[in-house]
Amino acid sequence: MAEKANKISRMKRAELKEKQLQKKESRKEEQQKQNAWSQKVIAEEKESQAKSEQEQEQFQKTKKIREKEVELFQRKKRMEEEKLKKKHEEKEKNRKAYLAYLKDMSNRNRWQMNKDRKIREADDKKAETKVTATRDAQRTKMQADVVERQTIRNAEKGAAKKRGESNIKEQQLSNAVREDARKEQAKLRAQEQGSIMQLESRITRERNTAQSYTNPAQQQMEIRKVDAVEQRERNRITAKYTKLSEAIEVKANQALARIAGETKIARDKASREERTKKLEAQTAKNRTKNEADKEMADTKKEADKKESAEKIEAKRMDIE
């Protein structure tokens, strides 16, 4: 646009210069004609002076006519010059108006370019802000996932460790209870065996006494008494130590049940803590992601507002 305007301006200046040269040549030619004509008039006047008085009178008439013609020529010349002057002034006025138009167009083009540049900058800034907001939100959410997974792994490890420790403790306490019960039952079996040995020793003496009777009927009767006593005492001893052994077994089972209950409580507590930590990790992750999404949305919304304001401001720019 500027190059085209400069080309038109050069053409106008060249045309004006050509007109001025033509005008100058025209004035020069007219001046030469006038000089030649003046010389001719002078020569004719000189020639007329040599003629007769009659010719002198005719010469005076002719001279007046010539003077009128010169005056008419001069007036015509002045009119032509005035016309050329007005035409030149009109051209100069048009030239200045055209230059003013070109300047106005240049200013308008510069204003439009500045406005377009500011609008592009507003668009680019908004796009960059939105890309950065999206990238930051994604990075925050990815970090939230990492933190959640790490927290869950730590919760699982901690819970597994506590459950393992509870299982080991349960096994150790259960083994101790069983070992104590085994030892107590072994003592009972030894005591039972001792009581039976004492009984057998006593029964042997009593059987020998019964067998010492010479009367067969009395001997058989005494032996049956001894056998009955032996069976009864054996049953009593067996029942006694069976009951004591069962009591030890019941006590041991109660202890094992208590240990199992306490261990289950510990394991359940570890599992509850694990679930709680997992839920808290998930809740924290979701909260962080929601906050990241909200911050991203707010940033993008603010970018849209700022872009709109900058575009409005760009369109309000005055031409310098």
Q: What is the 3-state secondary structure (H, E, C) of 119-181?
A: HHHHHHHHHHHHHHHHHHHHHHHHHHHHHHHHHHHHHHHHHHHHHHHHHHHHHHHHHHHHHHH
241 lies in the same domain as 106 = no
Structure tokens at 142: 């990815």
277 within 8 A of 151, measured Cβ to Cβ? yes
Domain count, the chain: 2
* Confidence label for 93 from pLDDT (cuts 50, 70 and 90): confident
Q: 252 is in which domain, residue-wise?
A: 127-315
What is the longest distance spanned by two Cα atoms in the chain?
Answer: 237
Of 3-7, 199-203, 223-227, 310-314, least confident by mean pLDDT is 3-7
Going by C-beta distance under 8 Å and a sequence separation of 6 or more, which residues neighbour residue 133? 295, 296, 299, 300, 303
Residues 91-113 have a mean pLDDT of: 69
Q: Tell me the range of 66-80, 99-113, 134-148, 302-316 where mean pLDDT is highest.
A: 134-148
112 lies in the same domain as 147 = no
* Confidence label for 320 from pLDDT (cuts 50, 70 and 90): very low
Instruction: Say which CATH number the domain at 218 has.
Output: 1.10.287
Q: Tell me the range of 13-27, 140-154, 159-173, 190-204 where mean pLDDT is highest.
A: 190-204
| Percent of the chain whose predicted confidence (pLDDT) is above 70 | 81
Average pLDDT score, the chain: 81
320: in domain: no
**pLDDT of the residue at 319:** 42
CA gap 145, 126 in Å, rounded: 28
Say whether pLDDT at 89 is over 90: no
35 lies in the same domain as 95 = yes
100 lies in the same domain as 184 = no
Work out the burial of residue 133: count CB atoms within 10 Å of its CB; fewer than 13 is exposed, 13-18 middle, 19 or more buried: buried
- Pick the last residue of a domain from 123, 150, 172: 123
Structure tokens at 158: 């901690």
**pLDDT of the residue at 276:** 92
Burial 85-96 (b: 16+ CB within 10 A, else e): eeeeeeeeeeee
173 lies in the same domain as 258 = yes
196 lies in the same domain as 256 = yes
* Confidence label for 289 from pLDDT (cuts 50, 70 and 90): confident
111 lies in the same domain as 143 = no
100: in domain: yes
137 lies in the same domain as 239 = yes
194 lies in the same domain as 287 = yes
Of 56-60, 62-66, 170-174, 258-262, least confident by mean pLDDT is 56-60
136: in domain: yes
DSSP 3: H
- Pick the last residue of a domain from 73, 92, 123: 123
Say whether pLDDT at 101 is over 50: yes
**pLDDT of the residue at 103:** 66
91 lies in the same domain as 157 = no
Closest CA to 199 of 170, 176, 179, 229: 229
283 lies in the same domain as 175 = yes
Question: Could you give the C-alpha distances from 23 to 71, 86, 90, in angstroms and in order?
Answer: 21, 14, 16
Work out the burial of residue 122: count CB atoms within 10 Å of its CB; fewer than 13 is exposed, 13-18 middle, 19 or more buried: buried
- Pick the last residue of a domain from 78, 104, 123: 123
Say whether pLDDT at 67 is over 60: yes
Summarize pLDDT for 206-227 with one digit per residue, the tens: 999 989 988 899 999 999 999 9
Of 98-107, 131-140, 242-251, 283-292, least confident by mean pLDDT is 98-107
Say whether pLDDT at 77 is over 90: no
Structure tokens at 288: 């962080």
